[in-house]
């Protein structure tokens, strides 16, 4: 199927930017589904639900008799539920940043790894397993380039060369704060900071580095859709972008390339709401979703990477090569430190607000 990663964008935004209208009605299921058991899942919605319905929800229901109902609730809705002691859903499927915030509020139950029967917890990468959340797929922010502008492999390889506008001229784009986070990590790498020394981020140094490249930035993108459009329309010839967005354009024949050098690996993750009405079923669904064969199917449809390392055995080698979190991506990239971001986001936001107006 055609990749439709743009429908995942809400899961990557800062939870405070997702404070749109909450769902008016509670998530209630009546009739036979309730009698057979149920589990209610917060998801990004759209095509994501279609993929999960095919590869996870329907097979899970067939296996267990437990009905799965996806709902596209904002994180603001989740916070309101918890504060009101009125939890109406069970599994939260979203970016790991909001889950860290919810975890720090005491809103999440531990993942019951000991009860898993379909998945071996040790098969899931240690960097993806946490007490109250477990990553279910991986995506990366990568360097993209226009092949017409940079033919014969003469494109910037890594962020130091991206910053070298004299050697590699042309309009560029980078992420806006409104996308979830600006590209501070890439700014530090461009300034000579090794990948394993990025965190804790030196905010002042990162913004000084951004100031050097800023005259060559046509626009800072705030959504995945905008980043893809700017590349597709050739408004920019270089930029940071989520790998799924870029791969979709490449698969459609756009003259674009992807460089994995210093890619930033990020995750989507699962948690169980503390006090959820169907907690046992929630734990079962997470266990089922983490199976290698199941992950192999939905990660390929999403054009992202699995977190169960055994899943790579069921994926064609050519596809593994272009997967975030795969051997190539891991060797050349680094994991985003979501804990640092959730502790420092407000400070970065204040600095960004001053800097962007300067």
Residue 56 DSSP label: I
Using the predicted structure, report yes or no on whether residue 118 has a pLDDT greater than 90. yes
Predicted confidence (pLDDT) per residue in 247-278, tens digit: 999 999 999 999 999 999 999 999 999 999 99
- pLDDT band at 303, cuts 50/70/90? confident
Using the predicted structure, report yes or no on whether residue 10 has a pLDDT greater than 70. no
Q: Which domains does the chain have, with CATH numbers?
A: 5-138+267-323 (3.40.190.10), 139-265+337-357 (3.40.190.10)
Per the listing, tokens 């030196």 go with: 202
Using the predicted structure, report yes or no on whether residue 25 has a pLDDT greater than 60. no
Number of Cβ within a 10 Å radius of residue 137:
28
Predicted confidence (pLDDT) per residue in 46-66, tens digit: 889 999 999 999 999 999 999
Position 36 scores a pLDDT of: 55
- pLDDT band at 358, cuts 50/70/90? confident
pTM beyond 0.85 = yes
Query: Which three-class secondary structure state does DSSP give residue 126?
Result: helix
User: Which two structure tokens, joined as six digits, stand for 328?
Assistant: 């190539």
| Secondary element (H or E) of residue 268 | strand 256-273
> Within the chain, what is the greatest distance between any pair of CA atoms?
67
Per the listing, tokens 């979501």 go with: 338
The H-assigned helical ranges of 25-93 are 32-36, 47-52, 58-64, 75-83
Predicted confidence (pLDDT) per residue in 188-247, tens digit: 999 999 999 999 999 999 999 999 999 999 999 999 999 999 999 999 999 999 999 999
Question: Contact, 232 vs 254, CB < 8 A?
Answer: yes
| Secondary element (H or E) of residue 318 | helix 317-321
- pLDDT band at 148, cuts 50/70/90? very high
DSSP strand pairing (172-175 vs 217-221): parallel
Residue 237 DSSP label: S
Residues 6+ apart with CB under 8 A from 318: none
């Amino acid at each position: 199927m055609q990749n439709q990663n743009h429908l995942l964008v809400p899961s990557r935004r800062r939870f405070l930017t997702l404070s749109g209208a909450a769902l008016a009605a509670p998530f209630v299921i009546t009739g036979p589904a309730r009698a057979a058991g149920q589990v209610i899942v917060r998801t990004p919605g759209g095509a994501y639900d279609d993929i999960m319905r095919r590869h996870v929800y329907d097979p899970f229901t067939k296996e267990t008799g437990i009905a799965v109902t996806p709902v596209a609730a904002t994180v603001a809705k989740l916070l309101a539920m918890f504060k009101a002691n009125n939890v109406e859903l069970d599994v939260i499927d979203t970016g790991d940043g909001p889950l860290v915030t919810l975890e720090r509020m005491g809103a999440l139950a531990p993942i019951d790894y000991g009860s898993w029967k379909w998945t071996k917890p040790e098969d899931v990468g240690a960097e993806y397993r946490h007490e109250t959340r477990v990553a279910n797929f991986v995506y990366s922010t990568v360097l993209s380039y226009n092949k017409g502008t940079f033919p014969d492999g003469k494109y910037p390889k890594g962020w130091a060369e991206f910053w070298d506008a004299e050697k590699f001229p042309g309009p560029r784009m980078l992420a806006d704060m409104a996308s979830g986070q600006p590209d501070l990590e890439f700014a530090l790498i461009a300034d000579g900071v090794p990948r394993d020394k990025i965190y804790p981020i030196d905010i002042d140094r990162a913004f000084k580095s951004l100031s050097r490249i800023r005259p060559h930035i046509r626009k800072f993108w705030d959504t995945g859709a905008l980043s893809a459009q700017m590349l597709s329309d050739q408004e920019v010839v270089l930029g940071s972008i989520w790998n799924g967005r870029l791969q979709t354009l490449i698969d459609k024949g756009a003259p674009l390339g992807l460089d994995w050098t210093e890619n930033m690996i990020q995750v989507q993750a699962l948690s169980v709401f503390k006090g959820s009405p169907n907690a046992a079923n929630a734990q079962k669904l997470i266990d089922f979703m983490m199976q290698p064969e199941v992950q192999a199917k939905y990660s390929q449809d999403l054009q992202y990477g699995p977190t169960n390392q055994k899943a790579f055995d069921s994926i064609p080698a050519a596809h593994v090569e272009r997967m975030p979190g795969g051997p190539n991506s891991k060797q050349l990239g680094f994991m985003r430190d979501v804990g640092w971001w959730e502790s420092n986001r407000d400070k970065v936001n204040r600095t960004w607000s001053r800097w962007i107006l300067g």
